[in-house]
Amino acid sequence: MEQQRLFQILELDGTLRDDNMVINEKLAMEMYKLLVLNRIFDRKLVNMQRKGQIGTYASFEGQEASQVGSAMALLEQDWMFPTYRDHAAMLTFGYEMVKIIWYWMGRIEGCIPPNNRNILPPYVPIATQIPQAAGAAWASKYKNESACSLAYFGDGATSEGDFHEGLNMASVFKAPVVFFCQNNGYAISVPLSRQTASETIAQKAIAYDMNSIRIDGNDVFAVYVTTKNALEAARSGKGPTLIEAVTYRYGPHTTADDPSRYRSSEESESWRSRDPILRLEAYLRRQGLLDQDTEEKIHREADRLVNDGIQYALNIPKPDPTIMFKNVLSEKPWNIQEQESNFNSFMERYHHQ
């Protein structure tokens, strides 16, 4: 079957699968900087959680190429629908780093999209973004705009009804949307084989007569080229595409999970040989674009950027606790009113002490 082949450009040793392929040097360096920045960001956020500075955190280490490569293919006017694991995609497309940190600090300020980018706040209810992305894309087509939607989701999301409803509608209406599945092998502790009887995620598109492709999600070139082609097809009226990016999350599902209960450390270590950053590094070194000094400089700069972001985020004043009673219910039932008034009198006493 066409979509069962894994599309790949960059070999593990940093050579190109097709010697005739031309890679833009500037773009490759830009990709490298973003991959490094995001890995450092991710590791530092795990540390913040360990220090009690954020509540919980969903790490994406291992999935950087899938997220950076796909987000780099978007145009300014496009719409991004990310999940709780897609901070690298969000950062790449222009969501402010500090807001991502605030999001994990539980702050409402972290959910406000940037002024100049259509980026939804991270979706936590699995697959709900899929029909919404299809709807946004259809609206854009209806209004004769050129914006496409890009929806991210995991392999587990493809077992939800929303996935099938969203794909069905998008295909019927030829909505300009790209469905980007990061197949990282697990939905929390449930391996892909217990999640779906389908051999691949990509083949699920057949039911909706939709184009699909299965790619190496740790190959940033393959991810970028595939997403760019899918977006161009969507923009030119050819309808949606389902991309299955095969990748792996090295760490736990979130900081609240213990992966040793459902998979071996040998398994996750074996994926390190397919690491997206090492592979690009090998390519850049072969091309003479990266040496020890440049590499260290890029790491230092990324480290500084993330440290600055964290410092800035931690300096935010404490939230006004009364906001928990606002913006949720237009008409508050008696019990919520009672809690609000008890809370207000408590706060008054507290401030008078």
**Residues forming the site for ligand TPP (CB under 6 A):** 85, 124-126, 153-157, 184, 186-188, 253
Question: Tokens 């237009």 label which residue?
Answer: 330
Q: Which is nearer to ligand TPP, 138 or 248 (CB)?
A: 248
**Alpha helices (runs of H) in the chain, residue ranges in sequence order:** 25-50, 64-72, 87-93, 97-104, 129-142, 161-172, 192-195, 220-235, 265-270, 276-286, 292-314, 334-352
Active-site annotation holds for 262: yes
Is 85:56 a contact under the CB 8 Å cutoff? no
Q: Which is nearer to ligand TPP, 81 or 153 (CB)?
A: 153
Burial of 323 (0-12, 13-18, 19+ CB in 10 A): exposed
Q: Which is nearer to ligand TPP, 156 or 240 (CB)?
A: 156
* Parallel/antiparallel/unpaired status of strands 241-246 and 177-183: parallel
Measured from each CB, the residue nearest to ligand TPP is 154
- CA 318, distance to chain mean position in Å, is 28
Active-site annotation holds for 351: no
Distance CA 300, CA 292 (A): 12
- CA 343, distance to chain mean position in Å, is 38
Distance CA 267, CA 202 (A): 23
181-206 exposure pattern, b = at least 16 Cβ within 10 A, e = fewer: bbbbbbbeeeebeebbeeebbbbbbe
Catalytic pick among 5, 142, 194, 262: 262
Identify which of 191, 178, 181, 132 has the alpha carbon closest to the alpha carbon of residue 155.
Answer: 181
Q: Which is nearer to ligand TPP, 32 or 57 (CB)?
A: 57
Q: Which is nearer to ligand TPP, 262 or 346 (CB)?
A: 262
Identify which of 213, 128, 206, 214 has the alpha carbon closest to the alpha carbon of residue 171.
Answer: 206
Active-site annotation holds for 253: yes
List, in order, residues 6 or more apart from 324 with CB less than 8 Å away.
none
Distance CA 320, CA 282 (A): 50
Q: Which is nearer to ligand TPP, 81 or 283 (CB)?
A: 81
CB of 192 to ligand TPP, least distance (A): 8
CB of 220 to ligand TPP, least distance (A): 19
Active site residues: 249, 253, 262
